[in-house]
């Protein structure tokens, strides 16, 4: 099968990025990773990229005068790389409308909750505080809402009586490492169609 090019945008330790690298290496995901783009010059994801010989683009958010200036630089970098798919894997900023519009249907995000519940930051803490019995993760296409784009896949985990935020986050993370590569594989196999709010899997 012909591979597609993807690029990953991340802000932190990059464990989901590593899951993608591993899935590409084993042939589970028919893709090549063209670049890692990060807003954080201290992100451990950079070390993971170097280890896999993936080019790195660092756009230090703190070095820009405004969010608008940063987003213009990010958009320019994304156009230069221009893969089939951008994967937000632990990217800790809301993507602006100009970027969303430029890459509509070509950008996905992983979120540690069963959307539409518990959008935004600290989703695991929100789940614990609300008292739900089931939590999980969601991979979705990115639109101009907060964690609100069409859902590609979800995985569920039980919330245990003695769970704290960290314990639940770790249990969800193990499923993120499976769910995100699965969604990328489906995209690369041309099996996803967006039909309004629904993502159809062929």
Q: For 113-163, what is each residue's pLDDT tens digit?
A: 999 999 999 999 999 999 999 999 999 999 999 999 999 999 999 999 999
**pLDDT, tens digit, 9 for 90 and up, residues 60-79:** 999 999 999 999 999 999 99
What is the per-residue pLDDT for 2? Answer: 81
1 pLDDT above the threshold of 80: no
What is the per-residue pLDDT for 121? Answer: 94
| Mean pLDDT computed over 175-195 | 98
User: Which of 111, 122, 140, 177 is an active site residue?
Assistant: 111
Report how far residue 170's alpha carbon sits from residue 18's, in angstroms, rounded to the nearest whole number. 15
What is the rounded average pLDDT for all residues in the chain?
97
What domains can be seen in the chain, in order of their start residue?
4-201 (3.40.50.170)
Report how far residue 35's alpha carbon sits from residue 47's, in angstroms, rounded to the nearest whole number. 13
Is 25 one of the catalytic residues?
Answer: no
What is the per-residue pLDDT for 42? Answer: 98
**pTM of the full structure:** 0.96
| Mean pLDDT computed over 177-187 | 98
């Amino acid at each position: 099968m012909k591979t597609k090019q993807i690029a990953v945008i991340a802000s932190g330790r990059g464990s989901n990025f590593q899951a993608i690298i591993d899935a590409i290496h084993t042939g589970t995901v028919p893709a090549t990773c063209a670049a890692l783009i990060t807003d954080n010059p201290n992100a451990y994801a950079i070390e993971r990229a170097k280890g896999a010989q993936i080019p790195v683009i660092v756009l230090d958010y703190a070095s820009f005068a405004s969010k608008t200036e940063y987003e213009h630089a990010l958009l320019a970098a994304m156009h230069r790389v221009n893969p089939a798919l951008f994967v937000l894997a632990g990217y800790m900023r809301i993507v602006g409308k100009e970027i969303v519009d430029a890459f509509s249907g070509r950008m996905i995000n992983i979120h540690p909750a069963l959307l539409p519940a518990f959008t935004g930051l600290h989703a695991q803490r929100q789940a614990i505080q609300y008292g739900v019995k089931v939590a999980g993760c969601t991979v979705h296409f990115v639109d101009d809402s907060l964690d609100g784009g069409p859902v590609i896949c979800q995985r569920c985990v039980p919330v245990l009586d003695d769970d704290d935020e960290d314990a639940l986050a770790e249990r969800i993370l193990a499923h993120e490492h499976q769910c995100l590569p699965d969604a990328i594989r489906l995209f690369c196999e041309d099996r996803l169609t967006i039909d309004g709010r629904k993502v159809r899997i062929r």
